[in-house]
């Protein structure tokens, strides 16, 4: 049942994906690590912490708003949802890792990973517009707004280093 649910993107999984790309880009932009491996570990650890914190907050919120302890099924559902927040970082981290292995300096490899993140955000913005039945102009705005998150991370990286 869980695998069938995951085969079709949901509102929750789409939001988690976008959030994961933005958070991973933020960590890459702000990291002062010495190696690509340290950046990758920082991104993954940060995203796992965010994921655990979000899942915990949802379980607590369920208890508060429903007035009773969540069932094991509800807890299991919360603890198996939202992993897209972490998995969304895989492509940018692959870009970072491969370029680093090919001898690209860390700054250039991180910048390339941030560009990859920006492209992913733009694609998400365009897809949201398509699935949200927006006009072409609205889709362009959706794409630009999503992409601006990545552009801000690239600017942050440039300003910090």
Q: Which tens digits make up the pLDDT trace of 13-63? A: 888 899 999 999 999 999 999 999 999 999 999 999 999 999 989 888 888
For the chain, the DSSP string reads -HHHHHHS--HHHHHHHHHHHHHHHHHHHH---SSHHHHHHHHHHHHHHHHHHHHHHHHHHHHHHHSSPPPHHHHHHHHHS-THHHHTTHHHHHHHHHHHHTT--HHHHHHHHHHHHHHHHHHHHHHHHHHTT--HHHHHHHHHHHHHHHHHHHHHHHHH-
Q: What is the mean pLDDT of residues 112-124?
A: 95
Q: What is the pLDDT of residue 129?
A: 78
């Amino acid at each position: 049942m869980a695998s069938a649910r995951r085969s079709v993107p949901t509102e929750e999984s789409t939001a988690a994906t976008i959030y994961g790309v933005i958070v991973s880009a933020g960590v890459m932009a702000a990291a002062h690590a010495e190696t690509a491996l340290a950046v990758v570990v920082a991104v993954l650890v940060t995203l796992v912490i965010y994921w655990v914190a979000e899942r915990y907050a949802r379980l607590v919120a369920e208890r508060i708003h429903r007035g009773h302890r969540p069932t094991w099924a509800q807890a299991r559902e919360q603890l198996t949802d939202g992993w897209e927040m972490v998995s969304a970082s895989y492509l940018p981290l692959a870009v970072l890792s491969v370029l680093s292995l090919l001898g690209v300096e860390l700054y250039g490899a991180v910048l390339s990973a941030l560009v990859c993140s920006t492209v992913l955000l733009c694609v998400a913005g365009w897809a949201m517009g398509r699935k949200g039945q927006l006009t072409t102009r609205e889709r362009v705005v959706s794409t630009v707004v999503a992409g601006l998150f990545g552009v801000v991370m690239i600017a942050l990286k440039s300003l910090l280093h």
